[in-house]
Amino acid sequence: VGVMKAFGLFWPLGLYWLFQRQVPVGDNVKIKLSNSQWREKLTSDQYNVMIRRGTERAFTSPLNNEKRKGLYRCAGCDVPLFPSDTKFNSGTGWPSFWAPEKESIEHTIHPVYLLGDFGAREVRCKACGGHLGHMFTDGPKPTGKRYCINGVSLYFDPQDTTSGSTDAKPPNY
């Protein structure tokens, strides 16, 4: 009886621990830096979000209001992640997109998502493994997906669409 009572009291803590575990970045990333190298490269906010898997406060990113044509690139490694023509206003307070560039991101399953949106996934940069945000299944057509991305994980690269040139420089390079 004592064991059952203890189990009844502590199983929620075990589930909470399991659900809060983060899936480690795999060996399949192309760009591998040490924690100290990431700290040198990224701002403290970028490090907290991209490496420690944090979330920036809603409605704080200047990228929410970006309307120019161009590419949204990874703040950690400069890889193109989202074309501007896939951006939409989700009303959530984070830059949102309905589709990424091909082969630019990876999705990971986090057990806590199984309690809500079964299609929800963590989204990471495929090249450096940096945490970008989350993908949900309540987005607009044509994909029905909403990539809700932390603005500090991105930088905007405005492009001259006639020449393909760019005038943006990644932050902290």
d(CA 148, CA 154): 12
pLDDT bracket for residue 44 (50, 70, 90): very high
Distance CA 91, CA 124 (A): 22
Set 74, 77, 125, 148: catalytic member: 148
Among this protein's residues, is 148 annotated catalytic?
Answer: yes
Q: How far apart are the first and last CA of the chain?
A: 62
pLDDT score recorded for residue 126: 94
Q: Whose CA is closest to 77, among 34, 33, 35?
A: 33
53 Cβ contact partners less than 8 Å away, ≥ 6 residues apart: 22, 122, 131
Instruction: Identify the helix (H) or strand (E) that includes residue 108.
Output: strand 105-108
Q: Give the model's confidence band at 107: pLDDT under 50 very low, under 70 low, under 90 confident, else very high.
A: confident
pTM of the model: 0.76
| C-alpha of 130 from chain center | 7
Pair 171, 76: CB distance under 8 Å: no
Query: What is the pLDDT averaged over residues 92-118?
Result: 79
Of 2-11, 74-83, 93-102, least confident by mean pLDDT is 2-11
**pLDDT (0 to 100) of residue 16:** 52
Confidence of residue 169 (pLDDT cuts 50, 70, 90): very low
pLDDT of 112 reads 52
For the stretch 115-145, pLDDT in tens is 555 667 899 999 999 999 999 989 999 999 9
State the architecture of 25-158 in CATH terms.
Beta Complex (2.170)
Q: How does pLDDT run across 47-80, given as a tens digit for each residue?
A: 999 999 999 999 999 999 999 999 999 999 999 9
Give the number of C-alpha atoms closer than 13 A to the C-alpha of residue 147, restricted to the C-beta side.
Answer: 26
